[in-house]
Structures are given as structure tokens and as C-alpha cells.
Amino acid sequence: MDYSVGCPMVTPFEDDGTLDRASLRSLVDHLVAGGVDRLVPCGTTGEFASLTDSERRTVVETTVAAADGRASVMAGVGGTAVEAVRERIAAAADAGADAALVVAPYYGGQAAPAGNERFFDAVAAGASIPLYLYDIPSATGQSLAVETVASLAERGRYDGIKDSSGDLTHFDELLDRTPDSFEVLQGWDAQYVPSLLMGGDGGINAVTHVRPAALGRAGSAVADGDVAAARTVQFDEIDPVFRSAAEHGFAPVCKAILARRGVIENAAVRPPLVELDDATAAELVERLEE
């Protein structure tokens, strides 16, 4: 079985805070060369909440052009207003994206399942590209009910989900309650191999910035029935990066490492995020290289 390897791409910035399109193109080449087959710009690690709609379109257009058919592009279109999200889906389609990733409403706390279903139904109306759900409770303050996901999947409104709940029981229920054609993708990097063994379809994982080939090798090991090899990749290559990113912030950590490796020009992030100081970045890179 071929498992999808997706990257929730960082958004490179110049020193003055503007978009760095040259670094973005370099990042695409780096990821594709490492085996990433699904590029996901304008997601959480891409600091989507700090981008204007014009910048989002530029990021998607640049990613699509740089990928040049070597990997699919799933554009993040997160927002809380239905019409704004629908406009972003249309803009992503116009920019050449193959699909869009729709995050749950992220202001106001836990919404009723019926309210979430209404939101996702309304967002999907008239969409011209496939849509994927994005469940990230740590950022939205709520977790999508399995019943909501199952209903949307069974009615063909959405083609899959990125599950960043970090809850394997929840992930297992998603697999059990949705059609086989519905992609269930792991967004919690520390559970990548376990999720594949349970029947997951791959993942969208920030670790791919640092070790893009690791997830592909883990997937190949699972497909070959070599669980011991897959566990080794999980424990020795995926987990150390994930733990560091979880501790210091995914965008700051990934950008610090990419900048030191020369993939992107610098490690600038936008407020409210803060870059790693030089000492922390150097120590982190040295530890991960070891």
C-alpha cells in the first residue's frame, strides 16, 4: 500500500516580514526531493492566521507552480465566516490547488455537533475541488464529533480528514465509522506509525520539513509487514523532531532548522510567534543531527 506523505508547509518570510517566494520555491523542491507527495500550504504551521487573503493566494500559486505536478497541493482555507471560507476555496481552485483543507470554527469554544455540521455543509456548497476536514482541538478549542465526520463523509461532502486530535481512540473510531474511500490522515506525528497499523491512509506532518524521507520509509516498512523497522523510524527519527517542535513551536522550530540547512533564507515568523534564539536553535539542530 502507498501511504500519502503530506507536509503542512511553513510560510517563509523576508527580514521585513514580507513573503519570501524564492525560499518557498526552494522549500517545495526540498520536500518533493524527500518524497513528500502532498503539499499543504496555509495551514497551522504555515501561520495562516497571520496571512492576508492576497498573501494566501500568492502562497498557493507559488506552491502550485513550484510543484509543477510533482506533488498534489491541498490549500488551507481556514476561517470562521462561511462566505470567507467559500471565497478562499474558490481562490485556491483558481490558483491551481487540487484540494482544500477546512478547519473547524476556532472561536467560541465547543460548538454543538449540529452547528459544526451546518458550518461544513455550508462551506462545501458549490466547491469545485475536493475538500478535507481538519480537526485540531488544541487550536480550535473543540474536537469534531465522530458522528459529524461520518455524516459528512457518507454524504460525500468531504473526501477525508486530517486528524490532529492526538487521540488514537478517536482516530480508530473515524476509521471504523467512515467509508473506505474517505481518507483518514494522521496529523499528530508521534502517532504516525500506530495510525498506519490501524488502517490510516497516511499523514500531514510537520516532521517532513526536517526529515522528509522518514515518513515514507516508515510507511514502506508498515506495508512490508516490518513493524520493527517502522517502530525504529518512529522512535529514532520522527519522535525527537516532533517533541522539539511541540516544546518550542512547530513553525519556529521547522524554520530554524530549514534556515540553518540553507533551504530557506531565514527563520522569521510573524507575531504572535517568536523565533528561536541562536543558542536554542544551534542546540536543537545539533541534538537532532545526532
State the pLDDT at residue 257: 95
Helix H or strand E encompassing 85? helix 82-94
Asked if 160 and 200 count as a contact pair (C-beta separation under 8 A), the reply is no
Helix axes 212-223, 21-33, angle to 10 degrees: 30
Choose, from 3, 132, 158, 162, the residue flagged as catalytic: 162
State the pLDDT at residue 60: 98
State the pLDDT at residue 244: 93
Grouped pLDDT means (10 residues each) for the chain, 290 residues:
95 96 98 98 98 98 98 97 98 98 87 92 97 96 96 97 98 98 98 98 98 96 98 97 94 96 96 94 83
Least Cα distance to 203 among 184, 190, 227, 224 occurs for 184
Distance CA 59, CA 259 (A): 18
Annotated binding residue 89: no
Helix H or strand E encompassing 186? strand 183-186
Choose, from 3, 132, 134, 192, the residue flagged as catalytic: 134
Q: Give CA separation, 267 vs 16, 24, 130, 153, 275, in Å.
A: 12, 12, 32, 38, 7
Helix H or strand E encompassing 134? strand 131-135
State the pLDDT at residue 143: 93
Asked if 67 and 73 count as a contact pair (C-beta separation under 8 A), the reply is yes
Annotated binding residue 204: yes
Q: Tell me what percent of the chain is helix, strand and coil, each rounded to the nearest 5.
A: 50, 10, 35
State the pLDDT at residue 284: 87
State the pLDDT at residue 195: 98
State the pLDDT at residue 83: 97
Enter the pTM of the model: 0.97
State the pLDDT at residue 288: 80
What does the block give as the cell for 189?
Answer: 506525528
Distance of CA 51 to the CA centre of its chain: 16
Runs of H (alpha helix) within 155-277: 168-177, 192-198, 212-223, 227-233, 239-248, 250-260
Active site residue 255: no
State the pLDDT at residue 137: 95
Q: Which domains are seen in the chain, by residue range?
A: 4-289 (3.20.20.70)
Active site residue 162: yes
State the pLDDT at residue 107: 84
The count of residues in the chain is 290
Rounded to 5°, angle at Cα 225 from 223 and 229: 95
